[in-house]
Structure formats: structure tokens, C-alpha cells
Amino acid sequence: MDYILSLITFIPLAGVLLLLVMPRNDALQRYTALAVSLAAFVVSIPLITGFQTNADYQFVENVPWIAAGSFQMNYHLGIDGISLWLVILTTFIMPLAILSTFTAVEEKVKEYMICLLLLEVGMLGAFVSLDLFLFYIFWELMLIPMYFIIGIWGGKNRIYAAVKFFIYTMVGSLLMLIAIMYVYFKAGAGDFNITRFYNIGLDPATQTWLFLAFALAFAIKVPMFPLHTWLPDAHTEAPTAGSVILAAVLLKMGTYGFVRFAMPLFPDATAQFTPLIATLSVIGIIYASLVAMVQEDVKKLVAYSSVAHLGFVMLGVFALNQQGIAGGMLQMLNHGISTGALFLIVGFIYERRHTRLITDFGGLSKQMPVFATIFMIVTFSSIGLPGTNGFVGEFLVLIGSFESDLRWYTIIASSGVILSAVYMLWMFQRVMFGELTNPKNKTLTDLNGREILIMAPLVALIFVMGLYPIPFIDKMNPAIEKLITQTKQKQVAGVAISSEPVDMQALPIWNPAEPK
């Protein structure tokens, strides 16, 4: 158990090496990649069972890595309640994403699988790193495979989308690198351990600049309005598995970055920038919803819905109280599941019809009843209908931010909930209901066994997390509390955004299973 995090992170890398030396046989490569990603998932399950519900970093590994000149970098891994679920989300989504490529990708299968597994290494590494330098390495490492996934296996405009994705992310993260160096020198001799940096006590003016550098990198990744323009391109052009991973995990890097680094490292700047970030989040929610409404391409619609959903996450996180952050974290997981599922659904239909235009469809529910059912559940989850996971997250976010200084923002943001129902249901109606007019749609086949196998765990989770989210939140809570004290206590100046921590169990939603 001592090396479990390393094991999880580097199982996919071992898979990459295995695939490299394997003969070129598409089926063999596919199943090997699937097996490797499943192995990573299985190995990650003990993380949940072995996780102690407290605020400490657990499963810690800390060995010196670089110690040369004036620098000391450690290979320092560990997870707390915040990163735990993101690690699980990653290992959970990967096998499904890989399974979805079995018929979708026919060319260069070997390279595709290598890219997917390499991407998994980067994502897992970034979530488990407690050394800021190590985090940066993994953070950048994610770029390369994603760039190739979009650029080689993507749609018509793939090259433009891939380069845009790469340059956008690169510019942001390089400025963050300078900020990392600055923080390191401010902290004095030692290593890049982030908990060490939490206690430096930088003056607010310095924090402002450093926060901006970190926030830029993370805001691009989230993506926050107005830095979101790479996302619709990347999503639309990426192959299905690429979109799924991009939506389910990669975007979470941004919000995770805020929670793990930007906020606790720079508490004063966080307070100072909360209004700005809340404003941008609210604009993002409303604007992206409106843009999503008029999209003709289903995939682009889902991409814009991502921007809106992540706006909710940001709002919740920056409310900086228990419910807000818990809601934000939960919404990150929900978004991973439901938007990942939506991209899979779009992929299924695209594989059959080679089009994603809403006008090409209509009345599919008669032709594909299983597909229609699953699509409907996922749509509800994305809208946030009670009983599905989306509701819990959104509700908590709104409660949390309503209780905080962000009350007015919350009121405006709430309209996003309605808007999301509008664009999702309208799309669903146009695609699935009505007359089956297009003759090409008459030959469509329903989901096959493999596709149902992919969707089943996602649908199950939608309900599990919707009806009984307590286990998820319980494991997060101590870490969230610590984050809040971390951020609030250290605030020297600036506006305090306070609200009393509310007992989670007292809220009616928490125990829907128990009769009152």
C-alpha cells in the first residue's frame, strides 16, 4: 500500500511501453489498452476503502528527486478528500473512453492507445502530486498526447483546433511556471512541497500578481469566459474518446488547480479577485447557455454546456464555504460523468450517421429506444433534475454561494439552471422526438452490447450520486474545511467572505433515503 499512488500513476505508462513493443495488431492493442486502464481502475479502488476520513494527505510518498544547486524537488505524492475522487474519476472514465474507441478509430490504433494511456499518466500524476514542480511536469505532460489525439484523429478542422489548444494552454502554464519559481524563492531554502508554500505569508500586492499568473493557467483550462474559445474548437474536432477525457478530466485540472493551489496559496488575492471571478463565472454560465441554445451541432452544444457547468463549479468554489466548495467538487465529478456520457452519446450517433447536425435527426426515439432512454437520463443529469447527480451539485453550489457574499451573483446564475433545461431539452426534443422524416435515420440500429456496457456504469453513477451522495461528500469534507480555514485564516487584508459552516447532515437533501 505504500506505493499505491505510484502504482496507479505508472500502470498506464507500463501499458505504453508494452504497447510500443507489441506487434501491430489492432484488436490486440485495443484489448491491451483496455486491460491496462482497467488494471489502473482496480488498483485505485483501495484508495476509497483505505481512505481515512480526515484532512491529512494520505498514501503519501516522498522521496528526493532533484537536489542540485539551490533547488530541491521531491517526488512527493499524496491525496486528500479533494483529489481522491478526481483520481477515481480519471481511472473510472479511462476504460470507458478506451472501450468507446473500439469501432470509432480504425487508423493508427496503436498510436491512439499510446496517446490515451500517456494522457492518463499525466492526469493522474497531476492530481496526486504534492510537489509543485512535479505537478507542473505532469500538467505539461498532458498536453502532448491530447495535442496528438485532437490533431491526428480529429475532424476536419483538427489541426487548427489542436494547435490552438496547445498554444492557449502553454501560454497560461508558462506564466504559472514563473510564478512557481517566484513563490519558491520567497519561501526560502527547501523543497517544492505545497504545504510549505501555504504558510509563507506573502504580502497582498505580491499575491495579486502571483494569483493572476496561476489563475490564468487554470482559467484557461477550466475554461472561464473569456478564455474559453479554444474549448468549442477542441471539443468539436476531437475524436469521441478525446472529447470525453477532455470534458471529464482535463477541464477539472483547472478547477482543481484553483482549489489546491491558487486559493490556499494566495488567500488575500483570492478575496480580492472573488468578485471578478464570480462575475466571469456568471457571464460564462449565461453566455455559454445562450450560445449553446443556438448551436446546430450537437457536439458543439455539449461543449458550450461544459463552459456553463464549469461556471457553476467556479462560483461554488469561490463562495469559499462548506456547501459551496463541496457542491463545486461534486459538480466537478457530476460534470465528468454526465458530460462524458453526453460526448459518448454524440459519438455513438456520429459513428452511425457521420453527422452531428440537429436538423439531420428527429424521431430517433422510435428507432432506438434504448439509446433514447439512456440519452434522456443523461440529459436530465446534465440539466440537474432532482434524483440525478446534477441536482445535488448544482443545489449545493447555489446554496453555498447564496449564503456567501456572492448572493447577487447566485440569483443571476440560477437562471442558468433554467437555460440549461431549455437548450438540453430543446435539443433532445429535436433529435429524439417528432416524426422520423429523414430516410437515412430509418436504418439506424439501437445501441449494441458494448455501447450499453459503456453507458451502464455512467447511468448507475448518475443515480447513485443523485440519491445517496453522502459517502462522496463525507470523504471530502475534512479537506474542504481545512481549505477554508487555510484560505480564510491567512487573509491579512481584503474582504472576508464569511458564513458559518452549516451542518451538512441537517440539510434535508442529505438523507433522502431516510424517512423523516
Partner 1 sequence: MELALPQLNFISIMPETLLSVVAMALLLVNVLVKSEEKAYLGYLSLAGLMGALYTVPWGEKIGGFGGMVLQDNFSSFFTSIFILCAAMTILISDGYFKKEGCNHGELYPLILFATVGMMFMAKATDLMTVFLGLEVLSVALYILAGFNRDSVKSNEAGLKYFLLGAFSTGFLLYGMALIYGATGTTKIAKIAALAAQNGAVANNTMFLVGMLLMATGFSFKIAAAPFHMWTPDVYEGAPTPITAFMSAGPKAAGFAAFLRVFLIALPTLTVQWSDLLWILAVLTMTIGNIIALSQDNIKRMLAYSSIAHAGYALVGFTAHNAAGVSGVLFYLLSYTFMNIGAFAIIVMIGKKGEPNNNVQDYAGFGTKRPVLAMCFSIFLFSLAGIPPTAGFIGKFYLFAGAVQQGYIWLAIIGVLNSAASVYYYLRVMVYMYMKKPDEEFNWITLSPAIMLCIFIAVVGVLIPGVIPNSVLTLAANSLPLP
Minimum Å distance from CB 154 to partner 1? 9
| Near partner 1 by CB under 8 A: residue from 144, 283, 422, 425 | 144
| Near partner 1 by CB under 8 A: residue from 28, 35, 137, 509 | 137
Q: Judged by CB under 8 A, does residue 143 bind partner 1?
A: yes
Which DSSP state fits 404? S
The answer to whether 241 touches 98, Cβ cutoff 8 Å, is yes
Under DSSP, is residue 106 helix (H, G, I), strand (E, B) or coil? coil
201: left (phi over 0), alpha (psi -120 to 50) or beta: left
> How far apart are the C-alpha atoms of 301 and 294, rounded to whole Å?
8
| Near partner 1 by CB under 8 A: residue from 12, 78, 81, 151 | 151
Q: Judged by CB under 8 A, does residue 241 bind partner 1?
A: no
Residue 38 vs 170, nearer CB to partner 1: 170
Q: Judged by CB under 8 A, does residue 147 bind partner 1?
A: yes
Minimum Å distance from CB 73 to partner 1? 9
> How far apart are the C-alpha atoms of 331 and 397, rounded to whole Å?
8
Q: Judged by CB under 8 A, does residue 276 bind partner 1?
A: no
Q: Judged by CB under 8 A, does residue 66 bind partner 1?
A: yes
CA dist list (Å): 301 to 187, 230, 236, 241: 45, 14, 9, 17
Query: What string marks each residue from 173 to 202 as x (binds partner 1 by CB under 8 A) or -?
Result: -xx-xx--xx-xx-----------------
Q: Judged by CB under 8 A, does residue 408 bind partner 1?
A: no
| Near partner 1 by CB under 8 A: residue from 57, 136, 230, 380 | 136
Name the one range near partner 1 by CB under 8 A: 78-86, 138-146, 233-241, 481-489.
Answer: 138-146
Instruction: Please enumerate in sequence order all residues whose Cβ is within 8 A of that of 31, keeping only pairs 6 or more positions apart, or say none.
Output: none
How many residues bind partner 1, per CB under 8 A? 35
What is the pairing mode between strands 58-68 and 71-79? antiparallel
CB contact burial 115-128 (16+ within 10 A = b; e otherwise): bbbbbbbbbbbbbb
> How far apart are the C-alpha atoms of 37 and 33, rounded to whole Å?
6
- Nine-digit cell at 405? 457574499
Residue 27 vs 68, nearer CB to partner 1: 68
| Near partner 1 by CB under 8 A: residue from 65, 350, 426, 468 | 65
Instruction: Please enumerate in sequence order all residues whose Cβ is within 8 A of that of 439, keeping only pairs 6 or more positions apart, or say none.
Output: none
Residues 152-171 that bind partner 1 (CB under 8 A): 152, 158-159, 162-163, 166-167, 170-171
The residue among 214, 274, 266, 187 whose CA lies nearest residue 492 is 266
Minimum Å distance from CB 163 to partner 1? 6
Residue 237 vs 403, nearer CB to partner 1: 237
The residue among 33, 99, 95 whose CA lies nearest residue 348 is 99
Residue 66 vs 509, nearer CB to partner 1: 66
Q: Judged by CB under 8 A, does residue 140 bind partner 1?
A: yes
Residues binding partner 1 (CB under 8 A): 65-71, 108, 111, 136-137, 140-141, 143-144, 147-148, 151-152, 158-159, 162-163, 166-167, 170-171, 174-175, 177-178, 181-182, 184-185
